[in-house]
Amino acid sequence: MRSLFLLAVAAAPCVAQMQNKPIVIHADRVLDGRGKVLPGASVVVEGDKITKVDPSGDVAATYDLKGYTLLPGLIDAHSHLTWYFNRQGRFHQGNDGDTPVQSMLSTAANAYATLMAGITTIQSPGSPEDKDLREWIANGQVPGPRVITSLGPLSQARMSPDTLRAIVRRRKAEGADVIKVFASGSIRDGGEQTMTDEQLRAICGEAKTLGIRTMVHAHSAASIKASVLAGCDQIEHGVFADAETLKLMAERHVYFDPQICLVFTNYLDNRAKYEGIGNYNEAGFAAMQKAIPIATEMFKRAIKTPGLKVIFGTDAVAGAHGRNVEELVCRVQAGGQSPIDAITSATALGAEALRMDKQIGAIAPGLQADLIAVQGDPTKDITALRRVMFVMKGGRVYKNDRP
């Protein structure tokens, strides 16, 4: 208690100073997050915002990042910060003896690891703890990425459309930023449609009326199609998306957030920590192993589908926090995406999907100063994203690890 108080007091003057004096960051190249590369540019930050991008780079720099590329903080559209391994080295469950404080500290550690890896905004498909986490991070009391959350998912396939509509209204009133729906089963259970078309129309229709976005877990082509036709805004996963559903998403301006690697390899690498819990069994792991090449081929078709907006989301669970960019590395190396498109999927396009493009996702005057610097040039070598040495969020420097 006492040490937390001292920390808060010590941090206060730095924030005040930062707000008065403009900060100038110069780098070998600046990626604006919308696909443009500005060699040798400088970015001016005042308070929590970017005020100027100077292509000449002539202004005296506060941070002269030689050998580095400056880009917008990355946006992960799907991350579960509350998922962690407990002190027995197992995937945390409600009845494993961990106290709520231990769980929250583990969540804070995940948030910190995520921010240090260059992710300055995450969207959480939902956990009640997200509400406080979002507030503490937003106040600058706990270091972490901005949190956009559904607070809880809707997965009960037996509920009537009226009940589902009422839950959507309640979630919004409770402060949810987005509504998360399970339209299909888990990939470990085959991924078939679980909610009816009518239920999906009730949820996504009500959300639309209230002006709140919907993100839908959907694997089978039928479940994706039903969700898109129901007016939902964003499709998650989509391992079994076919050409028709990819085209349909593009036509209806639905954002698509597939995963081809990190979520699967993380489960497989940490198998012993998950095995025996729920559907984390022999068949479940076999299904995930099998999904990797299928998802990769689907991703290759997705990025070639005209007009389809493919965004970056990792579905980071316990074991994956802080390694989020591995999904981008895979998308380029195994999925054939160009590095600049992969970066844009995690910046401007991700912000647009969150309807936050006026605040984040690009390096432009008036936007939040969410900036990261990586060693090298990620437009030539995507693995440069693994070398995040500088992180600023909302004008505040959280990491400056340059040698």
Residue ranges that bind Zn ion, judged by CB under 5 A: 125, 315
Q: Cβ contacts of residue 399 below 8 Å, gap of 6+?
A: 115, 116, 388, 389, 390, 391
φ/ψ of 58, rounded to 5, equals -80, -20
For residues 339 and 379, the answer to whether their CB atoms sit within 8 Å is: yes
Taking the complex as a whole, how short is the minimal distance between the CB of residue 295 and Zn ion, in angstroms?
14
Cβ closer to Zn ion: 69 or 186? 186
Calpha distance 9→7 (Å, rounded):
5
Taking the complex as a whole, how short is the minimal distance between the CB of residue 220 and Zn ion, in angstroms?
17
Calpha distance 341→396 (Å, rounded):
27
Cβ closer to Zn ion: 15 or 157? 157
3-state class (DSSP) for residue 87? coil
Query: Which residue has the CB atom at the shortest distance from Zn ion?
Result: 315
Q: Which two tokens stand for residue 264?
A: 């699967």
Residue 357: which of 42, 75, 68 has the closest Cα?
75
Taking the complex as a whole, how short is the minimal distance between the CB of residue 125 and Zn ion, in angstroms?
5
Cβ closer to Zn ion: 315 or 370? 315
Taking the complex as a whole, how short is the minimal distance between the CB of residue 262 and Zn ion, in angstroms?
12
Taking the complex as a whole, how short is the minimal distance between the CB of residue 236 and Zn ion, in angstroms?
7
Calpha distance 349→362 (Å, rounded):
9
Cβ closer to Zn ion: 125 or 339? 125
Cβ closer to Zn ion: 23 or 81? 81
Q: Cβ contacts of residue 144 below 8 Å, gap of 6+?
A: 81, 108, 111, 112, 114, 115, 133, 137
Taking the complex as a whole, how short is the minimal distance between the CB of residue 33 and Zn ion, in angstroms?
25
Cβ closer to Zn ion: 73 or 125? 125
Q: Report the C-alpha dihedral over residues 343, 254, 241, 291, rounded to 10 degrees.
A: 40
Taking the complex as a whole, how short is the minimal distance between the CB of residue 79 and Zn ion, in angstroms?
8
Cβ closer to Zn ion: 261 or 397? 261
Which uninterrupted H or E stretch holds 227?
A: helix 221-229
